[in-house]
Amino acid sequence: MKLYNQLTKKVEKFTPQDPNNVKIYTCGPTVYSFAHIGNLTSYIYWDLLVRTLYLHNYKVNRILNLTDVGHLTSDADDGEDKLEKGAKKEGKTVWEIADYYIEAFLKDFHALNLVEPTKICRATDYIKQDIELVDLLTEKGYTYETSDGIYFDTSKFKKYPDFARLDLENLKAGARVNFSSEKHNASDFAVWKFIREGENHAMRWDYLGRPGYPGWHLECATISHTELGLPLDIHTGGIDHIPVHHTNEIAEAEAAYDVKMSNFWTHCNFITIDGEKISKSLGNTFALSDLEEKGYHPLDFKLWVLQGHYQGERNFNFEDLSAAKNRRLHWRNRIAKLYQSPKNDEKNLAFRQVILDTVSNNLNSPIAFSLIDNTTEINLSDWQFIDELFGLNLILSSPDYTTELRDTIVARTAARAEKDFATADQIRDELAKKNITILDTPTGPIWQYLK
Ligand code: AMP
Ligand code: ZN
């Protein structure tokens, strides 16, 4: 297996520390609104990563975190807390907001048939560990206090710019113009924020004798350290995480625990919609439910995502989503046909190997998909393999279901032979309600999915 690694900026051979315990950490969503299709894209690619590892017979131990506290609207430690903002807008408490959107997120997760992480962790369950980490950093001389919080002094962590190839000189020049603060360096970031007199922040914990809350990046350092142990094998996220969130996670975890945080860091690129950034003001923050309302299945969207490579910029539009829907329908009807012509079901091992090799080469799902299109000799058990790898639920029919359908078709043929067209039409209409149509072919009638 080969994967791109942000640490080395190269595609590298992936070997886990322990094949029975491949440790993966995925940065999860901030739960203050419905996930939009851009957010969901990242989890679809990491699902492919996990499924590929399974087919290499690795055991995966994967943690996903839910940011239910302290993520500000800006990466620069100012701006509003996203959850507080959501709560204010919806007239709910921050805790209610978090619970509500966690449930919605998990619903999407299941609708996309994504493999469940080993454990899903809420940031607010790790405040004790966060405080321990801040204490450790302070003991080691990495922090300083300002009037609004405790900051990490990035000049003390020499490799700070390496991960994102940051140009610190440029950052400094920009900061001089843009804002004055008590920060020592433009790239320094809050590990703990104080809640000042009169400040209305509902989520608060006592530390150093005053109320406050953790900086955003802490949770990923403490959760991965607590739940998996460092170094991780793979840490995943979106490209937006590279310059700030992951750079800061590395600084915190490696400075505090004296250990490499992760051997691989893999990021997916962003999708745009009709060439535009996804943003509320453009009204294009489609959620999965919006696509369903327009007649698409969540797995049509999953297939659309996997049609592109995770590192490529993607542009979403409904025309392409319709093409993905048709491709999925076409594949399901190839399977339907196999059910109706039980021939040899010998495994096409060569085909499977090519598909697995292709995906194992830095998750090249688009090429794997064209191989599926261009190979006629794919048997039922090979489709099962395709389903295991991509999680597209292509095989929906069970043997019982197909026997029942065959009997229905026999009944329809018999009705037609007796010129009982009313019965034949009624059978056709009943099937249409189940999204099934009957095609009369030279070798007899066969059923197909309509959508
Ligand atoms: P957030 O809830 O903002 O932390 O985002 C959750 C995940 O979605 C992160 O991994 C982001 O990198 C990712 N993400 C956000 N917007 C997009 C987008 N337009 N395309 C792809 N991924 C995105
Ligand atoms: Zn993270």
* Per-residue model confidence (pLDDT) at position 210: 95
Picking from 103, 90, 111, 97, the residue whose alpha carbon sits closest to that of residue 44 is: 111
Question: Which of 317, 197, 191, 199 has its CA nearest to residue 255?
Answer: 191
With the most atoms of ligand 1 within 8 angstroms of its CB, the residue from 67, 240, 249 to mutate is 240
Tell me, using a 6 A CB cutoff, whether residue 42 lines ligand 1: yes
pLDDT digit string (tens) for the chain, length 451 residues: 999 999 999 999 999 999 999 999 999 999 988 999 999 999 999 999 999 999 999 999 999 999 998 666 555 666 677 778 878 888 888 888 899 999 999 999 999 999 999 999 999 999 999 999 999 999 999 999 999 999 999 999 999 999 999 887 777 655 555 554 789 999 999 999 999 888 878 889 999 999 999 998 999 999 999 999 999 999 999 999 999 999 999 999 999 999 999 999 999 999 999 889 998 778 889 999 999 999 999 999 999 999 999 999 999 999 999 999 999 999 999 999 998 876 767 899 999 999 999 999 999 999 999 999 999 999 999 999 999 999 999 997 677 788 888 899 999 999 999 999 999 999 999 999 999 999 988 888 889 999 8
- For residue 187, report the distance from its CA to the centre of ligand 2, in Å: 17
Q: Which ranges constitute the DSSP H helices of 196-314? A: 218-227, 247-257, 288-293, 298-306
Q: Rounded CA gap, 74 and 235, in Å?
A: 23
The residue whose CB lies within 8 Å of the most ligand 1 atoms, and thus the one to mutate among 25, 31, 39, 216, is 39
Taking residue 437's Cβ as centre, other Cβ atoms within 10 Å add up to 14
Strands (E), 275-406: 314-316
Please tell me the distance from the alpha carbon of residue 54 to that of residue 2, in angstroms, as a whole number: 15
14-268 maps to CATH 3.10.20.30: no
Which among 30, 36, 42 is the best mutation to test ligand 1's pocket, defined by most ligand atoms within 8 Å of the CB?
42
AA identity, residue 235: H
Beta partners for residue 36, in sequence order:
none
DSSP state of 116: P
Query: How many residues does the structure list for the chain?
Result: 451
The atom of ligand 1 lying closest to the CA of 31 is 2
The C-alpha atoms of residue 38 and residue 169 are separated, in whole angstroms, by: 32
pLDDT confidence of residue 268: 97
Q: What is the pLDDT of residue 342?
A: 66
- Residue 306: the pLDDT is 98
What distance in Å separates the CA atoms of residue 197 and residue 200, rounded to the nearest whole number?
Answer: 9
What distance in angstroms lies between residue 268's CA and the mean position of ligand 1's atoms?
9
Ligand nearest to the CA of 25: 2
Q: Is 75 in the pocket of ligand 1 (CB under 6 A)?
A: no
∠ Cα 333 337 341 (to 5°): 170
Which pLDDT does position 74 carry in this prediction? 58
Question: Ligand 1: does its nearest atom lie under 6 Å from the Cβ of 238?
Answer: yes
- Integer Cα distance of 55 and 239 in angstroms: 27
pLDDT score, position 339: 86
Query: Under a CB-based contact definition with an 8 Å cutoff, are residues 204 and 211 in contact?
Result: yes
Measured from the alpha carbon of residue 224, the closest ligand is 2
| pLDDT score, position 3 | 98
Is residue 273 lining ligand 1, measured as CB closer than 6 Å? Answer: no
